[in-house]
Chains A and B, each alone.
Chain A
Amino acid sequence: MTTDAPPPVEPAYAAPARLWRALDRHRPPGVDAVDRAWRSPVRGPWLTSVLGAVLLATLPLVIVTGLLDWIAYGPRFDQAFPRDVGWLHPPVFDWPTRPAWLFRVTQGLHVTLGIVLVPVVLAKLWSVVPKLFAWPPARSVAQVLERLSLLLLVGGILFQSATGLLNVQYTYLFGFDFYTAHWYGAWIFTVALVVHVAVKLPRLVTALRGPGFARTPLARTRPEPADPDGLVARRPGPATMSRRGVLALAGGGALLLAALTVGQGVDALRGTALLLPRGRRIGDGPTGFPVNRTAAAAGVTPDRTGSGWRLTVRAGDRTETLDRDRLLALPQHTATLPIACVEGWSTSQTWTGVRLRDLAALVGAAEPATARVRSLERGGLFSRATLHGGQVSDPDALLALRVNGVDLSPDHGFPARIIVPALPGVHCTKWVEGIEFDG
């Protein structure tokens, strides 16, 4: 049931025409065989455009939430990674503390959507893969440049997906700095995406305005007429799956991944993240929720957090040194707040401790502009963190001493840790030994 080959589209060569014509004539062995081997009758402008439209609607969300994540880290205090980004510096603002779930949602969306879109990206690549092997590879300088930009586009999305997936699974096989690579990879991808959309949007609109195939069953699935981009197979075989079947397959893959991923950010569904590290609790009881960085890994030993531990609070030349009993004797405040990590996982717990603004008042800092928090941890990117004034003065911003009605466990930051609404988890410093208020 092979349909007849459609009439070849008349090739047009730009300058230097002789070069492109010669290239066209000198066909390397195998290219014709490959050209004849594409069999799927569903490849064509319509399917590619539907998949493209889905990605056009969703990828910007992944890009924007990624940028927001960088801003949430606090570039003003030089604590967003990578630090020095030159002129690729998005407009920054002080990350708000409300709504308290803000970072949980932006970062959860970034990671979850990034994972869920994998099958859609793969389907999109499948729909256009014949073009990779088409001969001649170009008939103009414009096409050469466009194909080079496609290398950046495809390389970009695959690089971002691969580094992101490895990062959320703590598998640093790549051996370079994740932040740097994922940041610049995002820019390369985004710029190539803008070019691709600008060039291809008219094609997408035309294809989606034309006859649709969303309701065409398998029995009536036929190839589209030959298109100028060469997506439609020259010698298609019989259909084995309708176009809506292919879309359902990609969508089903996305749903499957969503079902196995959302649990890392929803406490009630945690166990459903079957194949992710954050689907596991670290134990039973009130402190069994997931940990980011253990006390052992941070080099924080029991002898440093025992009765000899003191918290130093300073503003200007006023210093107070407090032990844990004195902290517990101060007015205690309880708040249920999420702790959300850059790897997309999050958990909501009930924290009790001293308000940061009460600690500031203790050393006479009524409205501090910043708080510099220091951990017992030595080294590491996150042994120190700076909070801005809004993060200090929020009524739910705490130096937590207890969680879910019990003392913090060593892995959750005993004797004291920071917890601030909407603050990225890594800045909720654990094992705090000093807080310095400025301004």
Chain B
Amino acid sequence: MAELRRAYGAAWWHLALLVGCFAVTGWIALRLAGEPTAGRMLLWFVGAVVAHDLVLFPAYATLDRLLRRAGPAVRNHVRVPALGSGLLLLVYLPGVLGLGDGTYSAATGLTPEPLLRRWLAVSAVLFAASALLYAVRRLRHRGR
């Protein structure tokens, strides 16, 4: 056992768990391999990781670095509403852009209407609330 740990780099149960994990995944992969859309599924699975780790994360980290110039007092008052607004865009993107083609209408009896204005309005509220809070804090600070 100690030999295995030295050679493998972890305990035996670690190896057993991972073998089990890959066995299930492998079985699923084999099962889906016959699907005509298997390639697209794989693309979306790997693509989701690439999109998050190599696009979304670097993008928001870079934007955050640009904020550094704004100074520490203002920084979080921009960060918080910006993250809130970005989060809403990410989650409700199809609605905001009015995507959803025929399936949307067939399912709901409504035509997809871009909800861009609503998203902008909610974002504006977030930024306004943050700005108000900032102003209140400044005034209090000065009052002292």
Contacts from A to B (Cβ < 8 Å): 14-15, 86, 88, 115, 118-119, 122, 125-126, 129, 132, 139-143, 145-146, 148-149, 151-152, 154-156, 158-159, 162-163, 165-166, 169-177, 180-181, 184-185, 187-188, 191-192, 194-195, 198-199, 240-241, 245, 249, 252-253, 256-257, 260, 274-278, 280, 282, 290-294, 296-297, 411
Contact = CB atoms under 8 A, between A and B. Distances in A.
Given A15-B7, A152-B21, A158-B52, A170 B100 contact: yes
A275 B108 contact: no
A196 B22 CA distance: 13
Interface of B is mostly: helix
A140 B91 CA distance: 38
A54 B22 CA distance: 26
Contacts of A191: 20-21, 24-25
A176 B92 contact: no
Contacts of B108: 170, 277-278, 280, 282, 290-292, 294
B88 interface: yes
A155 B47 CA distance: 8
Interface string B1-44: 00000111110011101101110110110011001010011001
Nearest to A115: B91
Residue of A115, A145, A180, A294 with most partner-chain B CB within 10 A: A145
B21 A159 contact: no
Contacts, number: 204
17 contacts: A14-B6, A125-B52, A139-B9, A141-B9, A146-B14, A148-B18, A155-B49, A170-B103, A171-B103, A176-B40, A176-B44, A191-B20, A199-B14, A199-B17, A253-B84, A274-B115, A282-B110
Contact of A275 (B7, B49, B88): B88
B25 A170 contact: no
A122 B51 CA distance: 13
B49 A151 contact: yes
Contacts of A253: 83-84, 87
Given A140-B8, A274-B118, A171 B99 contact: yes
